[in-house]
Amino acid sequence: MKFLVIGLGSMGKRRIRCLRELQEPHIAGYDIREDRRKESEDKFRIKTFSDLKSAIKEISPNALIISVPPDKHHEYIKFAIKHGLPFFVEASVLDTMYKFFLKELSESSIVAAPSATLLFHPGIKIIGEIIQGGELGKLSNFILHSGQYLPDWHIYEKVKDYYVSNPDTGGGREIVPFELSWITKFVGFPKRVCGTFRKTINIDGAEKIDDTYNFVMDYGDYLASITVDVVSRRPIRRLLVNGDKKQLLWDWDFNIVKMFNPSKNHWEEFPYQMSKAAKAGWPVSRASPFFNPKSCWKRHQLDGSRWVTQPSNAAESAKRHGVQVSGLLSGEAGAGAGGFTTMIGTGNRSFMTSSTSTSR
């Protein structure tokens, strides 16, 4: 199977490493930047192109890997659909043309695989099984803090030189839907959402973006409180879930999910292992969806070090779920989420509020 990786920045290079880990030999790259093409040629010994049409004509790829900045995703999704090419695309905070894409894809046999990395993290999978299995009892509240330090994302370039400095695709804003994707998958969409976000500290190159997001999701009989930021000097992802039977704790840094059982005054532990890391990359178990060239199924997820086959309707479900998450952020949460969200601007500070929709 032949892959063309579109965009040879940090994510494009990671996808090449993932494909190599999967022993896929036929990989080419496309990027308009000469320095990135040369780096990929030297590091991975692949052929690269500065012209997309020339790349398509010469290598005739079976699938595209779209790893460009989020505000460019729609251009290459449109290209893939036009040329009938299956594609993987990185996660995004934007939903430009997504309704059109869903309509087009629903009427074609093209495989579209949006990134859903966190859904396949072994710790998050355990959390989902516990919550959906009812082991915690009736939920009361859950608290999530997801934090990183923006300058640490790309230590080889300045913040101002890539998409995280753009207000529309800012680092903190981008992480919000990443977290919402797995949370809403396990507990559904809230009835109401309210929150605030703002710039709290000075980060060189990030003058125009908000760095901290706080919001509360109202599920009717329980609440969720979420903080996402790019000001944490050490990366953090911590979750606390309170139920009337048990309590769940999880810290990203430790490969274990803990659940407190008050009847026994005892912490139950659910350890997990991360697979070996691909050379110079992230653990393979954190890799995003790809295509398995040896299977008759067209939709797969990389789970640990093995392929898990999923029928095409799973891809459709993932795509629609992603659109609903995007709608929750952009003011259309009523589309499958039971409510609608509006943004009330207050200068450079904004507040989200929503109410239950009765029109759907």
For residue 84 the two structure tokens come to 């009938």
Model confidence, pTM: 0.78
Cβ-Cβ contacts under 8 Å for 27 (sequence gap 6 or more) = 2, 3, 4, 5, 16, 19, 20, 44, 46
Q: Which fold has domain 118-273?
A: Dihydrodipicolinate Reductase; domain 2 (3.30.360)
In a structure prediction context, what are the per-residue pLDDT tens digits for the chain, which is 360 residues long?
Answer: 999 999 999 999 999 999 999 999 999 999 999 999 999 999 999 999 999 999 999 999 999 999 999 999 999 999 999 999 999 999 999 999 999 999 999 999 999 999 998 999 999 999 999 999 999 999 999 999 999 999 999 999 999 999 999 999 999 999 999 999 999 999 999 999 999 999 999 999 999 999 999 999 999 999 999 999 999 999 999 999 999 999 999 999 999 999 999 999 999 999 999 876 544 443 333 333 333 333 322 233 332 222 222 334 444 555 556 656 655 555 433 333 333 343 333 334 443 433 333 232
What's the CATH number of domain 2-110+286-310, 3.20.20.450, 3.40.50.1820, 3.40.50.720, 3.30.70.20?
3.40.50.720
Domain boundaries of the chain, sorted by first residue? 2-110+286-310, 118-273
